[in-house]
Chains A and B, each alone.
Chain A
Amino acid sequence: MKLRRLIGFNLLTAVILGVIGFYVGWWLGSLFTSESVAYLKESNQHDISLFIGYFTGVLGFLVGLGFANYPVQRMLGKPASLREKETQGKTRYLGLCTDHKVVGLQYLIGIGAFIFIGGLNAMLIRYELITPNQHAWNGNNYLTLVGLHGTMMMGMMTSGILGPFANYLVPIMIGARRMAFPRIEALTFWLLMAAGAILMTAIAFGGFPTGWTGYAPLIDQANMGVDAYIAFFAIVGLSMCLLGLNMVATVITMRAPGMTWGRLPIFVWGQFSTAILMLLAPPVLISTLLMVMLDRTAQTGFFNDQIGGSSYLYENLFWFFGHPEVYILALPGMGILLEILPVFTRKPLWGYKLAVSGLMGIALLSWLVWQHHLFMSGINADLRPFYMLSTELISLPTGFIFICALGTLWAGRIRLTSPMLFCLAWLFNFLIGGLSGVFLSDVPSDVTTHGSFFSMAHFHYTIMGALLFSFFGGIYFWLPKMTGIKLNERLAKAHFWVMFISFNCTFGPLLVIGFLGMPRRAVTYAGYLQGANTWVSVSAFFLGGSMLIFIFNFVWSLVFVREPAGDNPWNSKSIEWQLPSPVPVHNFDRIPTFGPDPYPYGNVGSDAVPSMPAVTPARPTQ
């Protein structure tokens, strides 16, 4: 039995088959570069071997996990089944499992690990920038570190909230027992892990100098390390697209009786609006990266100006995906913010409809702004005013979110718990990020700040300051529900304060440094900027250290102390908190019927449970 478990469809088998698949693919690719294909032989294109190796490696990995079993059975006409491996003990966390709660926790650990690696890269970058002269890494290694950090963070964090939190919570919040497509849900996670492993191999092939944006013509010309970037982002794109599809389908079709659109928790709206973007934006990225792949292997000329292509085409296609991507990162955090605030102010969410229109408005407008990334890249001058205005217009729906958050805080009975602190920090950080963004959306000021540390600091304020803070807010808020174990609140607050202060000490001065003219992605800088840079580096190390507090708290609380959290430690009125902690595998004994008010908190001064429960059990569906 033990042997069967060992060689069955599990993570170990997956890794072995993945490695074998990679080498088989590499060998197959070498056949293409034989004498029979003259121009490939002349160009010494081992990229073909590498791409086929990545493809067959991922295929082997998925086969090893058991993802091929079901499609093969269906080809033979066997009947459909919705679930796999949901009651197999702790091993279900290490393989294909269709329980949305298991997938959520898999995401939390998997993405957390890659964020940690991406964070370590940031520490290495800041170590180099302590002094103005090159001292730790040569230029190529430095750029590879920058590229790995950016790509890892942007790629992984796109699913940073939808992966763990939405997968776990959305079905529960809408009164469902599962996601619409449970196998696809599991597939999205394992694709992401395979992609992460591929990105790490870039180091073995010489790294890549393109940063996370991979601009052409550099991406066409760079060494084989950039193939890892291409494969990584294409696979992440596929994972994102499928995750978005699954989430949208789930919200549309799986809602319980009474859960009308107007009663959806705001968290679900946040994930829903994000999922629409995740469904539609990544296919463009995948197409673009496939074109790059063909440029690098079959010698097509999409981005090669010498044979009729255009490097500027790449920039357009990339940002057509890239700017919705920014909101893919921002929107889910807004959902978390607005979901948590009512709990710790003991008030209903202020301006529910305004918040929903803000979330959907941002999602819509995010398609109309991508050219602001190209103000300095030769854009037709007549187009600049439109993209400047459309970019500034997006501050309106974003303002709705702020208004709703502030309205909820107003006259509330605020409890400064650790999730609440992270939410309040979100408001502060995103405000700075938004205000600095105005300088980048205006053409005249963008001319002086584009490509500098100013723009780098801006997007760290919006993405790290908002997304990562809401991510941690979400962890401290919902982890007791997910695990049934309480995290140490004192350590959580220590984590918050060190992270918040060091974050602002890191990126606040970077706004100034950028304004003074320090460019991004440069390993050396002017001597007069050393003092500020050293300050930033030391702050960054404290920021990294704050993550160690979190990890210590996580391990200490979950492994050693294991203090039961209870079913509803925050005294929340949301449905997930009316379930046992952790939530049973079937979520609900019976599908619930929802009442009219998603946020039934009393008026100021009242902390009582409303007289009518928000959720009442109903008859099971047949």
Chain B
Amino acid sequence: MTELAHHSTDYSVVESESPDVMGRNLRVGAHLWSSATAFFFVAFLFTYFYLRSLNNHGLWRPKGVNAPVTLGTLIAVAVALSAIMTFAAARKLRAGDRSAFRSLGVVALALGLAAVVLQIVVFATVGFGPTDGAYASVFLAWSGFYMVFVVGTMYWLEVLLATSFRYRGHGAAARPAPGEASGDAHRMGDDIASPISLQSPGADAFAFTWGVLAGIGVITWIILYLI
């Protein structure tokens, strides 16, 4: 009865989809994920101020419970610099300079991973433990879960770079081999026709996400280390 679809229609005929759609999805998805991430840390923000208001008369940071400000500052700087590098890398990619994207991206990845290593150093050297009061609890949990997000975001950057390196010898019209993407050479229609075409929206989406997370990192630094 319908002219909109038929079971008998050849599967491969109907599947072509513009790469723009997936690029748009990535951008929108990045914005949505960032808002969810912000809400995740809002709970820690609320907890910090709530418990701080309860723990007055020197109970908030008892003697010996001091955050290592130098290391904390280094973490914040590494994260912020990495995010700035990422924005620059995405811009280069938009301009068609894939080589510069890779160079800046590798630096951004190194800085992000350096932040993770520094956080591990903080945990290993900090002079208090989780049982040492409310501030200690908030400090260790907030900064720890923040680093989990950083590691996940660095994975995304690694994927972008790995794809760029893999296709570095190809032109913008590079196409995957049949079946390389979906694992089925007969169902090529829904593979992304040109992996390079997704690089720029992917980098933009990543830069936004990492920028928001870096912003949260700077707020974390101000709250946990400075005030």
Contacts and interface: CB of A to CB of B under 8 A. Distances in A.
A365 interface: no
B22 A82 contact: yes
B5 to A, nearest CB: 5
B20 to A, nearest CB: 9
Interface stretch (A189-197, A258-266, A276-284): A276-284
Contacts of A316: 46, 50
Interface residues of A, number: 70
B176 A579 contact: no
Given A80-B22, A279-B35, A308 B51 contact: yes
A584 B17 contact: no
Contacts of A583: 5
Contact of B182 (A84, A177, A313, A586): A84
Dominant secondary structure at the B interface: helix
A280 B167 CA distance: 37
B4 A621 contact: no
A622 B131 contact: no
A301 interface: yes
Contacts of A584: 5-7, 9
A316 B53 CA distance: 15
A508 B51 CA distance: 42
A585 B129 CA distance: 55
A339 interface: no
A307 B134 contact: yes
A415 interface: no
A283 B55 contact: no
Contact of A253 (B2, B21, B138, B159): B21
A83 B11 contact: no
Interface centre among A39, A283, A317, A583 (most CB of B within 10 A): A283
A284 B9 contact: no
A249 B25 contact: yes
A310 B133 CA distance: 11
B1 interface: yes
B95 interface: no
B109 to A, nearest CB: 12
B38 to A, nearest CB: 8
B142 to A, nearest CB: 9
A580 B131 contact: no
B2 A578 contact: yes
Contacts of A281: 39
A589 B14 contact: yes
A423 to B, nearest CB: 26
Contacts of A288: 43
A89 interface: no
A180 B132 CA distance: 45
B4 A298 contact: no
Interface stretch (A71-79, A138-146, A600-608): A71-79
Interface stretch (B78-86, B114-122, B188-196, B218-226): B188-196
B35 A79 contact: no
A302 interface: yes
B192 to A, nearest CB: 5
Interface in B10-64: 11, 13-18, 21-22, 24-25, 28-29, 32-33, 35-37, 39-44, 46-47, 50-51, 54-55, 59-60
B137 A245 contact: no
B21 A254 contact: yes
A309 B4 contact: no
Interface in A179-235: 180-181
Contacts of B140: 294, 298, 300
Interface string A562-601: 0000011000000100111001111111101000000000
Contacts, number: 219
B163 interface: yes
B97 interface: no
Given A249-B28, A579-B4, A83 B190 contact: yes
Contacts of B138: 302
A287 B32 contact: no
Contact of A75 (B2, B9, B155): B155
Contact of A287 (B41, B129, B198): B41
A301 B131 contact: yes
A71 B195 CA distance: 16
Nearest to A246: B29
A78 B7 contact: no
B159 A75 contact: yes
A76 B162 contact: yes
Contact of A81 (B4, B50, B191): B191
Contact of A284 (B1, B14, B40, B192): B40
Contacts of A298: 130, 140
A617 interface: yes
A438 interface: no
A252 B30 CA distance: 13
Given A83-B190, A286-B40, A585-B11, A308 B59 contact: yes
B195 A586 contact: no
A279 B22 CA distance: 20
A294 to B, nearest CB: 5
Contact of A317 (B33, B46, B180): B46
Contacts of B137: 291, 294-295, 300-302, 307-309
A248 interface: yes
B17 A80 contact: no
A87 interface: yes
A357 interface: no
A280 B35 contact: yes
B18 A587 contact: no
A534 to B, nearest CB: 44
A579 B32 contact: no
Interface in A605-622: 615, 617, 620-622
B159 A589 contact: no
B11 A586 contact: yes
Interface in A382-401: none
Contacts of B176: 78-79
B129 to A, nearest CB: 8
A283 B4 contact: no
Given A301-B133, A588-B14, A622-B18, A313 B51 contact: yes
Nearest to B42: A284
Nearest to A566: B1
A457 interface: no
A74 B162 contact: yes
A241 interface: yes
B138 to A, nearest CB: 8
Among A180, A299, A316, A567, find the residue whose CB has the most chain B CB atoms closer than 10 A: A180
Contacts of A317: 43, 46-47
24 contacts: A39-B129, A77-B162, A79-B176, A80-B191, A80-B192, A81-B192, A245-B36, A279-B35, A283-B42, A284-B39, A284-B43, A287-B40, A298-B130, A298-B140, A307-B134, A308-B134, A567-B2, A580-B2, A584-B6, A589-B9, A590-B4, A615-B4, A617-B4, A620-B16
Given A39-B129, A301-B134, A590-B4, 13 more contacts: A74-B162, A77-B165, A77-B167, A78-B180, A79-B180, A79-B181, A80-B181, A249-B25, A249-B29, A283-B39, A298-B130, A302-B47, A590-B14
